[in-house]
Amino acid sequence: MKKITLALLPLFFFICTLCHAQENAGVVPTGFLSDYTRLVPDETAKDNYFHYTAPEDISRKLGKIYFMPVATFPADANFKLVDRPTLEQTMAALDQILRKKLTDKATLVATPEEADTTVQIVVTMISTEDAGRSLIDFIPLRLLTKPIKDAAMGKVQEVVVTLEMSIRDSKTNQILFEAVHRSAGKNIGRADDPDLKATEKDLSPVIDIWTNKIVHEIITPKL
């Protein structure tokens, strides 16, 4: 038994290393934000959340806000998991909720010309990941026996949506704040299902997670 335990130690350390790498993995640049290398992770966030704040205090410079309609980036982006009508409905719901909550805390204006600050939020990715991941997910399949390998396949998938946000000075176009959110919605099926799709209902938990956090970021940017 002792020999077996010692033999498994390298594998255990390998798994721990992979877990640490997963937890500290950065975001994949999509081209929307100005500089992805300066984003830092928020260790207190429940979702994968990265942000950047300009060095100077911007909390008193927001003034009048021009809130651009929530869209995809690029504008004509299509995601395999969600058809365009469902995506449009989800973005419209997110946009409506955010505007309502912002109106209670700030002054929104109709054009960028009359604004002090411009806020833009885009959807850049909709994908899936295994729900309830365990240590077995980090072990290379070649190291697993066939029964364990079979059990590891076809896992339940949860939909994951990535939002990117930019806040900039409307007069100078200077970046004041940037952030990337990556949050999971509902479980939508198994990995081996060729017809795997996400509905508006599946995406609704993502809206609930983000709206309060995004409004807080806009009104009180993280320094």
Mean pLDDT score, 79-92:
88
**Token pair in block for residue 157:** 């998938």
Domains and CATH numbers, the chain: 27-219 (3.30.160)
Answer with the residue of higher pLDDT: 24 or 107: 107
Per-residue pLDDT band for 186 (boundaries 50, 70, 90) equals low
pLDDT at 141 over 70: no
Per-residue pLDDT band for 170 (boundaries 50, 70, 90) equals very high
Single pTM value for the model:
0.72
Least confident of 38-47, 102-111, 159-168: 38-47
**Token pair in block for residue 221:** 């940017």
Least confident of 9-18, 86-95, 169-178: 9-18
Task: Write out 72-130 in H/E/C secondary structure.
Answer: ECCCCCCECCECHHHHHHHHHHHHHHHHHHHHCCCEECCCHHHCCEEEEEEEEEEEEEE
pLDDT at 3 over 70: no
**Token pair in block for residue 190:** 């198994």
**Token pair in block for residue 140:** 């290379």
